[in-house]
Every structure is written in structure tokens, then in C-alpha cells.
Copies of this chain bind each other. A is one copy, B any other.
Amino acid sequence: MTVTLADVAARARVSPATVSRVLNGNYPVAAATRERVMRAVDELDYVPNGPASSLAAATSDLVGILVNDIADPFFGIMAGAAQGAIGAGGAGDALTEAGRAAAGTAHERPTGTSTDKATAKATDKTSDKTSEKVSEKAGGEKLAVVCNTGGSPARELTYLTLLQRQRAAAVILTGGSLEDPEHLAAVAAKLARLAEAGTRVVLCGRPPLGEPPAGEPAVAATLAFDNRTGARRLTEHLLALGHRRIGYVAGPENRTTTRHRLEGHRAALAAAGVAEGPTVHGRYDRSSGYEATVELLGREPDLTAVVSANDTVALGVCAALRDRGLSIPGDVSVAGFDDLPFAVDAVPALTTVRLPLHDAGARAGRLALGTEAPPQGGVATIAAELVVRGSTGAPRGA
């Protein structure tokens, strides 16, 4: 039915072993023989059987990228960058739209529209008679795939198991994690198992695991976002503007990201000797920001600023404020986090903290591939940068 390596061997009048060798390009093969084999491959439109090679070689070319919410650009940008660095088509040569937007800042540094079309055309041109060539090129390629956990710990574990079962070459865990000790232990155990089996584990935007009990660390590299410092700078900015009654719309409880941002916020407050305002926990989405703001205002009507868990939440905060007839930043200042592409489009544009999501994702991809050396000690801290825009200003009456 489907054509196998043996068929190719027969067609090329060589042994299966030889075909295997030219396909994997690891052993010396005579040029003439190689040519003959390649022709047979093309003529038969042969596609290697992945499971079979994985079984024989005891490794696969699958790389799993776990994300908490695939519909959230925060994860989409990281995942896209990682996949670009790893996957089909090579080293991130085709930057995605949003990736590009996230790198620069949209219209502040516009990209030529025509340039892009030219690129697309060129790429397209090659897909012409190259369909066979592509399948050949797919030879050394890794299959980078993203898995959406939806923030569910059970799913995270399930995906890890599925990836383990596939003998994945690498696994990248993105974004913060749940802080539940049992879950953490389960994940750590799973990662240790994966590492044992030769899977490279990379953490991107997630704080390092605790040290393993003994021997090799399970994690090859960790890229941790400095959420704490970023959050601190943000609140310091508000404080400098003169705000003293600051509300906080936090992310879900028991999440590292939530906790770190909150800690940075509190550190700034404490350092300035300012009392903490009301805090409400919610999800990382806009309706959560909306609801939380309603509650915040109910508890403390004289707030002059609201800090949000992230930009998406900030959008909800703004909506709630507007619906109350409050102006931004005239009546209340609002701040976000992450500097997602749409942050600059909010009205007014959102003051936020920029995380280099695209760079971090791409780097995680290279780390997963082993193309890039891991940082000293295995852990790199990624700095967050305060971005001041129009949504924050002096408090009313100042």
C-alpha cells in the first residue's frame, strides 16, 4: 500500500540500509548511489514512517510547547516564536504578524506592506515543483506542536504524559504555573521522567522548579520573566505621579505570575510607606477586569488608579470605568502588563510593562533544539520594561 524504505531500496537497487543512510545523512555514501536513491525517493514519493524511525532510533522529532491559553496572544506570541525557531522552514525566517508587531510597536515603527507581499510571493514560488523537495527537507525537521492546557493542571499532566509516550525530543512549558504543591510535585516528577528518557525540558516565562533531590536537573534551561521587578516599577511610576489610593485587579490565585506581580506591587507600596489599596482576584480576561473594577469601586470609591493583572484585564477595567462615567486618566489611571500588541490601541493607550515575549519564545525554541547554550546555572532572568503611555496621569485634584 504505502511505499516503504524497502520499496525505495528495490527501485534504487541498493539495500535498505543504504537508503536509510542517505536519508539520514549520517554515514558516507557514494555520490552516485545517493543520487540514485534520491531519485527513487522522488519517483516513489516516499515519506518515511515516523513511528517506525522513532521506534528504531528511540527518539522522535516531536517538540511539545505547552501553553495555558492558546487564544491569548501572550501565549500565542511565545509559542509562535518558539515554533518558528524550531519548526518547518528553519530559523524563524517567517516572522508572524503579531510577532513582528510585538517586537517593534506597531505604527510607531511601521513595516512596509509591499515588502511582505514580495516575501510571500517568493516563498510561494518555491512550493512549485518543490513539493517533493519539501518532503525531503522535512528530513531533519522537528515537528513543533503546541498543546493547550487551558490552565488545567490535569491537562498539563496529561499532555506531558502524551508527549512522554511519543518520546518527544523536547518540551517547552510556557507561562506561569499553578502553585499547588501536589501539582508541582507531579509535574516535577514527570519532567524528571522525561529528562531521563532524553527529552530536553525548557521553561519559558516560568520560574525555576525547586532543585531536584539528586543528580541531573530535570530542566535543561529556564527563562524566567522578572515579573516582580516589572510590577514594582509600574507601581513606583504610579506613586511618583502622586497616587495614594491604588486598586489592584490580580490574576487567579495560586499562580506564580499572579503572586510575583502582586509582590512587586506591594514592595513598591511598602518602600514608599503607602498603604495597600483593595485587591480583587480574577481570571486573565477582560470580563474579569470589568467585574473586579465594579467591586473595587464599590469598596473604595475614591480610588485614583487601578493596576491590572495584564493588558487584557486592563481593557475590562477601562470599560467598567467608562461605563461609570469616569475618565482615564483624568479620574482614574489604569495600567496593564505584558504590552500585548493591542495595548497601544486602547484609548487612551495603555501604560504597561513590556515582556520580550517574541525573543523569549525564540530563545526557548533554540534551547529546546540545543542550538543555543543554556544560561549560567541554567536559569536566565528576563527583564521587564516599564512602558508609559496615556492611560496613567496625575491623580484628580493633584
* Residues of chain A having any CB pair with chain B under 8 Å: 2, 45, 47-52, 54-55, 60-62, 64, 69-73, 76-77, 79-80, 83-84, 87-89, 94-102, 106-107, 110-111, 113, 116-117, 120, 123-124, 126-128, 130-131, 134-135, 137-138, 141, 143-155, 157-159, 161-167, 178, 180, 182-183, 186, 189-190, 193, 196-197, 252-253, 281-288, 290-292, 312, 315-316, 318-320, 322, 341-342, 344-347
Task: Tell me the bound Cα distance from A163 to B50 in angstroms.
Answer: 9
Chain A facing B: main interface SS: helix
Partner of A69, one of B97, B107, B196, B285: B97
**Which of B55, B146, B159, B180 meets A88, CB within 8 Å?**
B159
Distance (Å) between the CB of A1 and the closest chain B CB? 8
Q: Are A155 and B110 in contact (CB under 8 A)?
A: no
Given contacts A124-B153, A135-B161, A345-B318, contact A287 B47 (CB under 8 A): no
Q: Of B50, B124, B147, B197, which contacts A165 at CB under 8 A?
A: B50
**If A51-B50, A143-B162 touch, does A107 touch B319 (CB 8 Å cutoff)?**
yes
**Option from B96, B189, B282, B312 in Cβ contact (under 8 Å) with A131:** B189
| Distance between A318 CB and nearest chain B CB, rounded to angstroms | 7
Q: Which residues of B contact A134 (CB under 8 A)?
A: 154, 157-158, 161
CB neighbours (8 Å) of A51 from chain B are 50-52, 54-55, 60, 166-167
Are A291 and B113 interface neighbours, CB within 8 A? yes
Q: Is the CB of B55 within 8 A of A69?
A: no
Identify A107's interface contact among B47, B50, B117, B290, CB under 8 A. Answer: B290
Query: Across the interface, do B166 and A120 meet the contact criterion of CB distance under 8 Å?
Result: no
CA A146 – CA B186 in complex, angstroms? 25
In whole angstroms, how far apart are the Cα atoms of A245 and B282 in the complex? 45
Given contacts A158-B134, A162-B143, whether A113 and B292 have CB atoms under 8 Å apart is yes
Give CA–CA (A80, B152) in the complex, Å: 13
Residues of B within 8 Å of A71, CB to CB, are: 73, 76-77, 79-80, 96-99, 102
Which of B45, B70, B186, B282 is close to A80, meaning CB atoms less than 8 Å apart?
B70
A84 to B87 alpha-carbon distance, docked (Å): 23
Q: Which residues does chain B contribute within 8 Å of A315, judged by CB atoms?
A: 342, 345
Contact of A96 among B2, B69, B342 (CB under 8 A): B69
- Count of this chain's copies in the oligomeric assembly: 2
- A162 contacts across to B, CB distance below 8 A: 50, 61, 88, 138, 141, 143
A107 touches B70 (CB 8 A): no
List 23 interface pairs A-B (beta carbons < 8 Å), by A numbering: A47-B193, A48-B165, A49-B165, A50-B166, A61-B162, A69-B98, A71-B80, A71-B98, A72-B96, A72-B97, A87-B155, A88-B159, A89-B152, A113-B291, A123-B152, A124-B180, A124-B182, A131-B190, A138-B158, A143-B163, A145-B145, A146-B146, A347-B347
Contact of A52 among B55, B62, B149 (CB under 8 A): B55
Q: Is the CB of B143 within 8 A of A146?
A: no
Residues of chain B within 8 A of A113, CB atoms compared: 281-283, 288, 291-292
Closest beta carbon of chain B to A249's beta carbon, Å: 10
Enumerate chain B residues within 8 angstroms of A151, measured Cβ to Cβ: 94, 96-97, 120
A93 CB, nearest partner CB in chain B, Å: 9
